[in-house]
Amino acid sequence: MLDINGGELLILVLVAIVVIGPERMPEYAKQLRGLVVRGRDMFQSSKATLKAEVGNDVDWSQLDPRQYDPRRIVREALNEPSPSIRTATARRLPDAPPGEAPFDTEAT
């Protein structure tokens, strides 16, 4: 998400130490710890609420967003036979006398 590697993180920490200063650093570290603890608690409580409301008998594969891949949907639609093609090919033209082309009276 942020795409920060170890070296960049180290530079950010050093800049924060210089800007904030060593006097106020313990105070900010406590605030950061409090934010992380509150975030963890909110995540665990929402997880427990979801489990209590939904239960264990949920089929999560039906809710997987990867099943709505447009490429897969188009591929499946192109591979299944269409019912309109089957009915059109099932109709036959009447037999024509030898030497003449078949003529469809319903087409005119």
The pLDDT, as a whole number, for residue 22 is: 81
pTM as predicted: 0.44
Q: What is the DSSP letter of 96?
A: P
Q: Where are the domains of the chain?
A: 7-51
Over residues 44-60, mean pLDDT: 86
DSSP state of 23: T
Question: 60-99 pLDDT, tens per residue?
Answer: 788 888 778 888 888 888 888 766 655 555 555 556 667 6
**36 falls in which pLDDT band (50, 70, 90)?**
very high
The whole-number pLDDT of residue 105 equals 66
- Element (DSSP H or E) covering residue 2: none
